[in-house]
Structures are given as structure tokens and as C-alpha cells.
Structure 1
Amino acid sequence: MGTAHRRRSRLQVAVGLLAASVATATPAAADSGPEPSACPAEIAVAATCYTGQDSHGAHYAIAIPEDWNRSLVVHAHGGPDLTDASDPARAPEDLARWSVMVEEGYAWAGSAYRRGGYGTRMGAADTETVRRLFVSTFGEPRRTYLHGQSWGGNVAAKAAEIHRGYDGVLLTNGVLAGGSRGYDYRVDLRVVYQHYCGNHPRPSEPQYPLWMGLRADSAMTPAGLRARLRECTGHDSPAERTAAQQRNLTDILAVTKIPERALESHLRFATFTFRDIVHKRLDGRNPFSNRAVRYTGSHDDAALNAGVERFSADPSARRDLSFDSDPTGLVTVPVLTLHAIGDPTAFVEHESAYRASLRGSFSGHRLVQTFTTETEHSALSDAGYATAMSALDRWAESGHRPSAAAIARECPRFNEVYGTGCFFDPAYRPADYSARVYARPGGLRWPALSPVEELVLRHRPGVGISP
């Protein structure tokens, strides 16, 4: 039996096991039911909206347009937020941001998740719960689609692998390299920043390994972190920036390849979200590594590489983070991605990592990737969202996989309605993930878990990140 045939046989077994596990899963208990609520002002069509809280404590929002096309978009939100409990304002805010889905005739449902903090599978489970709540209350839609943006793209990608009941997936500006590799550039930022700045922590403060982001009991706030960034680099005061601050800033940006406008947000993530991942989700274990990375681009690479803090991941922590968040590519429905080429937060090269995952699971034919010349992360053109949803809907209905060029040609029709611009670049192809993010020589293979390993670990107690 050839190698390719053996791999396909293992994949077929994995698909069978996954189908069996889904068939025997016990649905989450429903809450008291959605209650009518005022729709966000951003929804420009007649619609009825609802809010509620599910049995796990996750707040959610639902909208059904008066002229409903009988299909549903289930939204997975980004972040992660770092609140302790579910935020009742979060889902209505997401509904307002993606009101274009309702205006295009789709019902919309989104969960705020049962808590803040990291947990990709938790988000996927709560997203599936709100889908089931919609079905139990309003009936089975004609078709159901998953949509996730930013970290929500990671959540939606995992939900599509774990749960059935979806006819297609739209991932926009998604963090699609997964947790075990998708935050490596923030790991690099954390250690490079400290090498040049030495104020996070200061020498006079309690010391801790930088992979934990921040010690568990630290009282630092985002404002305090911003002050330290300003102190070292003159980040938000260029007119007053000293020569020493400019050199620090130039070196940090050159080595990490992070855009200056996103530097503070990435450092916040590498501080506060890393603390959440390490202390609250992984019991203090380290999932990150930079042991063999050679950093380049500074005014003195030899000094940088000799002085930067080094560490290796705890294999169990890296496994658990990988199990929680890394896409295996094992999808059975059409997946359309939309990504801004100039996304300063989830670099467009995440798409290359995701493409490799699907190809590794023989699902590459289920993926179409589109790119736009936009330069923002948190929101894209409404005309682009509408175009992408229309293309995904036709693909799911007809079975005919569209091309990026054909999708781009459809955009002007939607722009006549929304007037937000068409920015598709059908000729664009992102570079390999390692072209933007330093590779980890000697690290885990990619993807970190195979589909079969994913299924085995799913039934092993104590593996992964607790909800």
C-alpha cells in the first residue's frame, strides 16, 4: 500500500470516528428562550431581534429580518476579551458591526461566550449552542453558515471541524495558524522589547520568565503598559522622541516585522492575553518557545541574539494549546476566506498556514481564499462581506467552487447598495507563514496535531484548555 493511500485510509477512519462522536454527543440544555429586544440602529432593514443567556451562562443575540431568505449566519466573535464572565453587551455589538448579514436577508445569531479569556473550543461550543437554540426556537434554516473574524476565525475554523450542522464557513481576517504557532510573532515581540527596553519588568521589580506575559499577581494596566512603551520608544509622541528612543523603536519594528501602528496592541496581547493563557488556562505551564530562533534586522544582531531571553516550551502545554486551537484542516463543507493584505494584527500569511492545514487533510478542494488591498483588521468593506457571503451561498447550493476572480467581479453589484468600496485582488498570493514569522527550528511539525491525533485526544480527559 502506497504512502498516499495509507494517509487517505487513516483520514477516512478519522472522518468516521468524528461522525460517530458527533452523532452520540449530548446537546447542551437550552435556556429559558430568547426574549425580544431592540435591534441595533445599524440594521437598516426591518428585523426582529432577541437576546438571552444560555445554560452555560453565555449571553447571545439573534436577529431575523422581515424579508428572511431562510438561511442563518452564526457568528464567532474575536478577541479574546479578558472579562471573567460573559459580557451581555458583546453579542449586540457584534450584530451591529455585521449588520450587513441581516441586510442581505440572513438571520444572525452570535454568542458572547460563557466567559472571557482564551479558549477556542469553548468559543466553538458556545457558538454551536446558539445555533441549536436558534433551531429549537425558530426552526431549521434552509442553510446555515459559520462566520468568524480575527480570533473568531480560529473559533469558527475549530467549530467547523468539531460540529456538524453547517453548510459553509466564512473566515475573515482570521487567526488561522492556531495558538501553538499563531502567536509566535508576539512571543518574539515580548523578548525583543525587553532586550531593548528593560522596563517590562524593570530591574527593581519582581522578575518572571517572559513567556508568561506578566506575573499572575501584577497590578499593571493597559495604561501602565502604554507608559512603559512610550518611555522606551516615544511610541505615541514622535515629535518628542529622542535618538535613543528612535533607535529602540526602529530595531523592535525591524526585527519583529510588526507595523508601528499595531505595536501597542500586539504588546498588550503578549502581556495580558499571554498571562491569561499561561496562568488561567495552562496552570502556569509554558506553551511557547524561541530557543533556536535567530533574530535579524537590528543594528547589532549579534548583541541581540546573545542578550535576548531564551526558553523552550513545556511539551504538554504546547500539546494542550495545539489541541484547543490549531486547525487540523479536517472540514467537510465549503470554506471561503477573506483577508486584508495589509492586516496589521492577523498577518495575511496566516492564510498560508491555513491552506497547508487543509491540504494536509486532503480538504484543499474545499477552500477558496480571497484577498483585498485593505489595511485594517477589525472591519472590512460591507460590500466585500456581502460579496463573500453571496459567493459562499451559491457554492453551497450549487456545489460549484468559485474562483477568486469570479468573486471579485461580483463586488461592484453589492457596492451599488453599500458604497463602501471593492478592494479584491484576485491575483494576490500570500508568502509562506515563515516568511513573516520566525520559524522554530526543531519544534513540532505543522500541523502540530494530525486529524487522527485530534480525535484521540478529544476523548482523553484532562487534555486541552478547560471551559
Structure 2
Amino acid sequence: MVALLAFGLAVVVLRAPWLSEPRAETTTAAISRSGRLGGASYLIEVPANWQGGLVVFAHGIQRGPGPGAVAAPPIASHILAGGHAWIASGYRAREYQPHLFIDDLIALRELFLKEVGRPRWTIIYGQSMGGHIVVASLELHPALYQGGLAECGLVDGISIADYLMAYTAAAELISGVPMLDAPDKETFARVLNERVVPALGMPGAYTARGRQFDSVVKYLMGADQVGNDLPLRLQGLKRRYLLNMMHRPRDLDNEPSPGLRAASTVHIRYRIDPGLGLTEEELNARVRRLQPAKDSRSPAANPVYAERTGRLKAPLITLHETGDAWVPLSLEQSYRRRTIAAGTDHLLVQRVMRASSHCGFDGETREQAFDDLLAWIERGVRPVGEDVLAPDLSRIGLKWTPTLQPEDPLALRRGLRSESCPRAFASIASRGASQRTSVISRSSATASCPSGIGAAKKRVSNRRGWISGVIQWAKYTSVSVARVRRSARSIAQNAR
């Protein structure tokens, strides 16, 4: 340990044990290498004068058959500029199979050790499905990784499948259409388009039943304890409203998808706002409960798809958007609860951006998270995060949101104060006093934190947003786009 004397106070910082080990020899020449390993393509990038740090990158889901395509981390240049190396695997397969991909990354790390050298520390960094890989790797292989960074990630593992099935089961109950009985994907898509959509409507043009369903989804995505909606949730839902509806195969024992096999809604406690004609008691008593296949979530038989334990042994920083309807903020909340129960919540720092996107973080946000994780690993400086379990989440994410979207509830309020958007105004305060007047006169602060009037001018119509989402779903499910357009326009006209 290291003792620091500052302002008369002794501050003790515990040094990570791996930093006491002999560090890797620095390389004098850069290395850029690609190849195939175990059926997976890979990339290895090492800067000149490598300082001994290694980042293992886990990309998100890719659709279709065959091996995946290798992707560089979004902050690849920042990693290299800091003197650190990175490696990435395309994985031997596609779709949702993190049990395979975890092993692919371990094998690639072993290749790096043989061909380049042993790193001083290894960080595992993942996006979306890569977040499942990050957290499962930290819990199941703690000796390999000294830190983790996950953005828009499936940090609570198989809970993503539970969320999507709970979403679908709620839509089935509230619409009155038994779509989970559909024998195949084609029938499911047809029933969804022809019966469920007319019964519920679409975001921005809901029926009375649709308003019930939207309230349920609000809580499934992570609404706070007092019922406040997450900022920009509805905007994010427009993109995923139909895509989140999941067909469930009848023969789970022979289903190849581990996510579908392991999905469960047995433990889901649904919530709904009062006054909508459906109580929580009725909802939870009547909704269909879906059981997982035998041993599909067993810690012994399928540890990657078992419920996460929260037993971290290394620092983890996560980034998440409030309006991400595909991978909702509720996964962050669930994993926070697990770490609290395990007594490891001091190793988890979570940051939130007010946005309707999925993995839409800017470079500065990502780079700051990486640098903060590095300082945490090397110097024991725990960075600042957010309380995703706070009773009131109406102002969540302001510290990490560079630009408020026009539809953001806070952007729509007139007279937004500077403290409401600290990142934008901090950049102004950091400049010299002689520059501040000219900076403010160019309205750079206002551009980052738009006023209610400016936001109103930029607002996109609800109808355009959800019609676009319908068309995306139609392309994904092979339903006639023309037929979907006709249904969408009919709903819009009836809602006027």
C-alpha cells in the first residue's frame, strides 16, 4: 500500500496486487496483425513502446449464419495513443452465444501472451451483447481480467431474455391475442401485425389497451420508485416497439438458441400505473408465466446463462442510455442490486446518458470512462458514477450527457440553468476568463443545453418515429412493408 500525506491527512491507497508483478517488456516497434484462430477472425494492435496494458474487445450481436466479423473497439486510437495494446475477435459464430465468445476471447488472449508478451493488466471492454461477455468473464474468470468496461451492455446477463419475454407476455395479455401460441415465426409475425397492433396501437397513437401496455413497459425498462418515466424512454421505444416481441418455440429442449431456452418470466413482478383499468394484482395473476428449459440456467451446467451473482473481484464501469428499449436501464439496476447483496457494489461504477439510442455514446464519454477505469486500476482512484436505484431518476444522466435531445423533458423547460448541464458548462468554465464572454456570446452553452423554445422547433413528430419503427420491424420479420404502412396510416388516422 501507499500512504499519501495531504492537508495533514493520511490517505491510504491500496495498490492492486497485479501491479506489483514484473511488468511486460516494452516493445520498440508497433505490431498490427490479423488472422484466424479456432474459426474466428482476429485483430491484434500493439503500439510502439507498448507500456504493458491490454484491452480485450467484445463486440455486440451480429445476425445471420457463419463466423462473425471482427470489429475494432470504438476508442481504438485512444487506447493505442496511451501506449496500450488491444485485441478483438470476430467470434466463431453469430447470434446470441456468449458462452462461445467468452472462450474465443480467452484463446485470443493466450495467443497474445505467446506472440507479444504478458501484460501488466488486462481490461475487458464490451458493447451490447459484449456487456454480457464482460460481466460473465469478470465473475467466471477473475484471474484473467483486472477491470471491465461495458457500454449499452447486457450487464445482468440472461435477464435480457427475461425482459423480452416479459414484454411479449404483457402484450399478449393486454391485447387479448394469444400470440405466444403461434406455432412458428411467420404465424407470430402475422398475428402481431394483424391483431396485436390494432388492439394496442403504436407509441404516440395508443389505444386504451396500448396505454396499459406502455405503463407496464415503462416499469420493465426501469422507471423509478415513485413512477417517474425514464427520460426519452418513449422515443427509444419507437425503434423497438415491435422488434421486442419475441416468438417462443414450443420445443425448448431442442431449441438451439441459448437465450430462448433460458428465458423465464416466473420471477417477474409486473407493475402498472393506477387508473388505467388494470391493477397490478390482476396483471400478475393473469399474465402467462414462461418457464425456462431444464438446466438452461444452471450455474453448474450453463454458468454463462445462469443468473449473475454480482461477485466482482475487479473494478467495472458501465455506460447506459436512459431510452434504450432494446437493452433497458433496468438491467443496470438489477446488477446493482446483485452487487449490493454480494457486498461488491464498491467495485461497480455506473454512468447514464440521457438518450434514446442504443450504444450512441460520443468519443469523449467513452474515453473518459476508459481513462477513469485505468486510474482506478493503477492508482486506486474510484471514479464518480450515478445511483441508478435512486428514488427519483428524473434528473439522472445530466453529468454524462453532452447534448440534451430536443424531446428531453429538461430541454423542454424554459430557463434551463447551467448546473443542469454540467458537461457543457464545465467546458466553458475551464477556458480562460478572457475567452468566456466570446464563448457564451456564440451560444455554445445553449447549443449543448437547448431551451424549451429551441427544442420545440426541432421536435420530430411522433407519427414519423413510430412508422419508421414499424417498417424496420417489417423488414426484420419479412412482413410486407406495404401492408405495414397501410396499417400504420390507418392507426394514425383513427388516433387523430
* Shorter-normalised TM range: 0.5 to 0.7
- Report whether the alignment pairs 1:256 with 2:235: no
Moved more, 334-343 or 265-274: 265-274
Aligned to 2:227: none
CA distance in 1, matches of 2:311, 2:162: 23
Structure 1 gap ranges (5+):
1-45, 202-206, 209-213, 424-467
CA distance in 1, matches of 2:286, 2:339: 38
CA contact (8 A) 2:237 2:324 kept: no
CA distance in 2, matches of 1:294, 1:177: 18
CA contact (8 A) 1:72 1:107 kept: yes
Aligned to 2:60: 78
SS class of match (1:194): helix
Aligned to 1:288: 264
Aligned to 2:304: 324
CA distance in 2, matches of 1:410, 1:398: 25
- Report whether the alignment pairs 1:372 with 2:353: yes
CA distance in 1, matches of 2:251, 2:81: 37
Structure 1 residues 355 and 283 mapped into 2: Cα distance closer, same or farther (>3 Å)? closer
SS class of match (2:246): helix
Deviation at 1:384, TM superposition (A): 1.1
Structure 1 residues 373 and 102 mapped into 2: Cα distance closer, same or farther (>3 Å)? farther
- Report whether the alignment pairs 1:301 with 2:278: yes
TM-score (structure 1 length as normaliser)? 0.61
The within-5 A match list for 1:188-207 is 188-197=166-175, 201=179
Aligned to 2:33: 50
Deviation at 1:147, TM superposition (A): 0.7
Deviation at 1:396, TM superposition (A): 1.2
CA distance in 1, matches of 2:334, 2:268: 21
- In structure 1, which of residues 94, 113, 117 is the aligned counterpart of residue 95 of structure 2? 117
- In structure 2, which of residues 321, 326, 329 is the aligned counterpart of residue 345 of structure 1? 326
One-letter amino acid matched to 2:338: S
CA distance in 2, matches of 1:103, 1:272: 45
CA contact (8 A) 2:237 2:323 kept: no
CA contact (8 A) 2:321 2:355 kept: yes
CA contact (8 A) 2:127 2:151 kept: yes
- Report whether the alignment pairs 1:170 with 2:149: yes
Structure 1 residues 143 and 398 mapped into 2: Cα distance closer, same or farther (>3 Å)? same
SS class of match (1:280): coil
CA distance in 2, matches of 1:84, 1:338: 30
- In structure 2, which of residues 75, 80, 85 is the aligned counterpart of residue 107 of structure 1? 85
One-letter amino acid matched to 1:317: S
Structure 1 residues 50 and 362 mapped into 2: Cα distance closer, same or farther (>3 Å)? same
Structure 1 residues 276 and 177 mapped into 2: Cα distance closer, same or farther (>3 Å)? farther
One-letter amino acid matched to 1:262: L
CA distance in 1, matches of 2:292, 2:188: 27
- Report whether the alignment pairs 1:59 with 2:41: yes
Aligned to 1:265: 240
RMSD of aligned Cα (Å): 4.3
CA distance in 2, matches of 1:193, 1:398: 49
SS class of match (2:243): helix
One-letter amino acid matched to 1:367: L
CA displacement, residues 201-239 of structure 1 (integer Å, 9 cap, x when unaligned): 4xxxxx73xxxxx75x54479899778775555548x6x
Deviation at 1:109, TM superposition (A): 1.5
One-letter amino acid matched to 1:366: L
CA distance in 2, matches of 1:174, 1:66: 31
CA distance in 1, matches of 2:312, 2:379: 18
Structure 1 residues 376 and 162 mapped into 2: Cα distance closer, same or farther (>3 Å)? same
Deviation at 1:127, TM superposition (A): 1.8
CA contact (8 A) 1:72 1:145 kept: yes
Structure 1 residues 285 and 138 mapped into 2: Cα distance closer, same or farther (>3 Å)? closer
Q: Percent identity among equivalent residues?
A: 24
TM-score (structure 2 length as normaliser)? 0.58
CA contact (8 A) 2:244 2:326 kept: no
The within-5 A match list for 1:1-150 is 49-55=32-38, 57-65=39-47, 68-79=50-61, 81-88=62-69, 91-92=70-71, 94-95=72-73, 100-102=78-80, 104-150=82-128
One-letter amino acid matched to 2:326: T
Deviation at 1:54, TM superposition (A): 1.2
Deviation at 1:251, TM superposition (A): 2.7
CA distance in 2, matches of 1:384, 1:277: 41
Deviation at 1:308, TM superposition (A): 4.0
CA distance in 2, matches of 1:276, 1:127: 31
The within-5 A match list for 1:357-436 is 357-404=338-385
Structure 1 residues 68 and 199 mapped into 2: Cα distance closer, same or farther (>3 Å)? farther
Aligned to 1:160: 138
Structure 2 gap ranges (5+):
1-28, 222-232, 387-398, 401-421, 431-443, 450-496
CA displacement, residues 12-62 of structure 1 (integer Å, 9 cap, x when unaligned): xxxxxxxxxxxxxxxxxxxxxxxxxxxxxxxxxx9864332212x122233
Structure 1 residues 218 and 182 mapped into 2: Cα distance closer, same or farther (>3 Å)? closer
CA distance in 2, matches of 1:229, 1:104: 52
Deviation at 1:376, TM superposition (A): 2.5
Deviation at 1:114, TM superposition (A): 1.8
CA displacement, residues 50-95 of structure 1 (integer Å, 9 cap, x when unaligned): 332212x12223333457544221111223x34332123xx23x44
Structure 1 residues 187 and 330 mapped into 2: Cα distance closer, same or farther (>3 Å)? same
One-letter amino acid matched to 1:402: P
Structure 1 residues 385 and 246 mapped into 2: Cα distance closer, same or farther (>3 Å)? same
Structure 1 residues 117 and 396 mapped into 2: Cα distance closer, same or farther (>3 Å)? same
Structure 1 residues 283 and 322 mapped into 2: Cα distance closer, same or farther (>3 Å)? closer
Structure 1 residues 264 and 122 mapped into 2: Cα distance closer, same or farther (>3 Å)? same
How many residue pairs match? The answer is 349
CA distance in 2, matches of 1:388, 1:307: 44
SS class of match (2:133): helix
CA contact (8 A) 2:42 2:88 kept: yes
Moved more, 371-380 or 147-156: 371-380
CA contact (8 A) 2:162 2:264 kept: yes
CA contact (8 A) 2:270 2:283 kept: no
CA contact (8 A) 1:291 1:312 kept: no
Structure 1 residues 286 and 120 mapped into 2: Cα distance closer, same or farther (>3 Å)? closer
